[in-house]
């Protein structure tokens, strides 16, 4: 029974002389107080819809299909349909974009270092040129007048080896910094994933207890109303039971919303949504 239904019940009992005006005023006070909290939640919901619509470059109008999807009539917060698949630590290292970027930066730095070291040695380039030989100005060019020039070209930075070594040192220093950054990125990613999964598991464990508390609060309210109707207790017990039920509903709603937020964080920490089949395909692609 809702608070409005309880208020109607008290009105009926007052009309029949089985309840007092005090009971009616107390029921009215609690009902109106609960109604006053609803606009706050509605404003938060509309603000969230506007932010999501802006992120998707769509107008936040009631007729917009996206907004209609974001305002379900049931008011049910989405829940995980299946457990997250974390995979192995190696899978995590390959999936996280920040780790892959850090790894690619090391590869580029190593290539630059090898290019700098190559300047320590002479470069030999083989050149081949086609030459035209003219015997006299009045004769046409014949097959005998065409020849080839083939020979090596050597270049070396030997006179400036100090500059070469400076370039090598700079490349090595950059590589060292990128290696340290990679190690830090990996450690941060592992800690992020572990924390996100732990937080999600902890919040998920609270759900069962909160659902049980909600069921108990509903039974307590039914009993309080029954005892009030029978004249065994005052309406204060009904009001207390209603407040307890409202608190239990609020705690469960907060828990479900927090579970959804932590699930999103867990997905991000793992590098996205991955099923067992997607993990197998990803491993096969990377070898």
Spatial contact of 243 and 30, defined as CB atoms under 8 Å apart: yes
Higher pLDDT among residues 1 and 49, named by residue: 49
Closest CA to 120 of 159, 171, 151: 159
23-36 as b/e, with b when 16 or more CB fall inside 10 Å? Answer: bbebbeebbeeeee
Residues 134-187: tens digit of each pLDDT: 444 444 444 455 555 555 555 555 566 677 778 778 888 888 999 999 999 989
Give SS3 for 152: strand
- pLDDT value of position 48: 79
> What average pLDDT does the chain have?
77
Q: How much is the average pLDDT of 110-115?
A: 81
Greater pLDDT, 106 or 161: 106
Q: Where are the alpha helices (DSSP H) in the chain?
A: 3-15, 21-55, 65-70, 89-95, 97-118, 161-229, 235-269, 276-286
Alpha carbon 233 to its chain's center? 51
């793992």: which residue's tokens?
270
* Per-residue model confidence (pLDDT) at position 95: 77
Instruction: Please tell me the predicted confidence (pLDDT) of residue 184.
Output: 92
* pLDDT of 191 over the 70 cut: yes
Average pLDDT rounded to a whole number, residues 46-69: 71
Q: Whats the size of the chain, residue-wise?
A: 287
d(CA 175, CA 113): 8
Superfamily of domain 88-121+164-287: Outer membrane efflux proteins (OEP) (1.20.1600.10)
Give me the percent of the chain exceeding a pLDDT of 90. Answer: 15
| Separation of alpha carbons 131 and 144, rounded Å | 11
- Structural tokens at position 25: 């005023």
Query: Measured on CA atoms in the order 6, 7, 13, 19, is the torsion positive or negative?
Result: positive
Per-residue model confidence (pLDDT) at position 133: 47
Q: Which helix (H) or strand (E) holds 69?
A: helix 65-70
pLDDT in tens, 267-286: 888 887 555 666 566 556 55
Is the alpha carbon torsion for 216, 218, 220, 222 positive or negative? negative
Sorted by sequence, the CB contacts under 8 Å of residue 274 that are 6+ apart come out as 85, 87, 91, 95, 282
Least confident of 29-38, 174-183, 200-209, 252-261: 29-38
pLDDT reported for residue 135: 47
Angle between helices 161-229 and 3-15 (to 10 degrees): 20
- Return the minimum-mean-pLDDT range out of 27-41, 77-91, 145-159, 184-198: 145-159
> Per-residue confidence at 74, pLDDT binned at 50, 70, 90?
low
- H/E stretch holding 126 reads strand 123-132
Lowest pLDDT segment from 27-31, 40-44, 281-285: 281-285
Whole-angstrom Cα distance, residue 87 to residue 89?
7
**CA 105/CA 174 separation, integer angstroms:** 10
Q: What is the pLDDT of residues 217-236, one digit of tens each?
A: 999 999 998 998 888 888 88
C-alpha atoms less than 13 angstroms from C-alpha of 105 in its C-beta half-sphere: 17
pLDDT value, residue 179: 92
**In the chain, where are the structural domains located?**
1-76, 88-121+164-287, 122-155
Among the listed residues 202, 197, 218, 209, the one whose alpha carbon sits nearest the alpha carbon of residue 266: 197
For residue 46, name the pLDDT band (cuts at 50, 70, 90).
confident
| 83 vs 215, more confident | 215
Decide: 196 and 266 in contact? Cβ < 8 Å: yes
Examine the pLDDT at 105 and tell me if it is beyond 70.
Answer: yes
Q: Which of 28-37, 87-96, 269-278 is modeled with the greatest confidence?
A: 28-37
Q: Is the pLDDT of residue 193 over 70?
A: yes
């Amino acid at each position: 029974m809702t608070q409005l239904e309880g208020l109607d019940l008290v009105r009926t009992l007052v009309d029949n002389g089985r309840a007092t005006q005090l009971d009616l005023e107390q029921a009215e006070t609690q009902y109106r107080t609960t109604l006053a909290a609803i606009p706050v939640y509605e404003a938060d919901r509309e603000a969230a819809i506007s932010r999501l619509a802006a992120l998707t470059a769509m107008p936040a109008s009631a007729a917009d299909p996206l907004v209609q999807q974001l305002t379900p009539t049931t008011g049910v917060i989405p829940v995980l349909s299946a457990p997250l698949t974390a995979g192995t630590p190696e899978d995590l290292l390959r999936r996280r974009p920040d780790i892959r970027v850090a790894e690619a930066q090391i590869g580029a730095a190593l290539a630059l270092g090898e290019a700098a070291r190559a300047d320590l040695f002479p470069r030999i380039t083989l050149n081949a040129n086609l030459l035209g030989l003219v015997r006299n100005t009045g004769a046409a060019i014949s097959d005998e007048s065409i020849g080839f020039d083939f020979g090596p070209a050597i270049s070396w930075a030997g006179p400036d080896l100090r500059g070469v070594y400076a370039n090598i040192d700079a490349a090595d220093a950059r590589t060292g910094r990128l290696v340290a950054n990679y190690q830090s990125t990996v450690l941060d990613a592992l800690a992020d994933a572990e924390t996100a999964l732990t937080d999600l598991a902890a919040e998920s464990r609270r759900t069962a207890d909160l659902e049980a508390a909600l069921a108990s609060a509903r039974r307590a309210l039914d009993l309080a109303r029954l005892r009030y109707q029978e004249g065994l207790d005052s309406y204060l017990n009904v009001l207390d039971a209603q407040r307890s039920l409202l608190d239990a509903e609020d705690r469960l709603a907060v828990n479900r919303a927090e579970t959804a937020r932590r699930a999103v964080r867990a997905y991000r920490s793992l590098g996205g949504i991955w099923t067992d089949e997607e993990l197998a395909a990803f491993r096969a692609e990377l070898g």
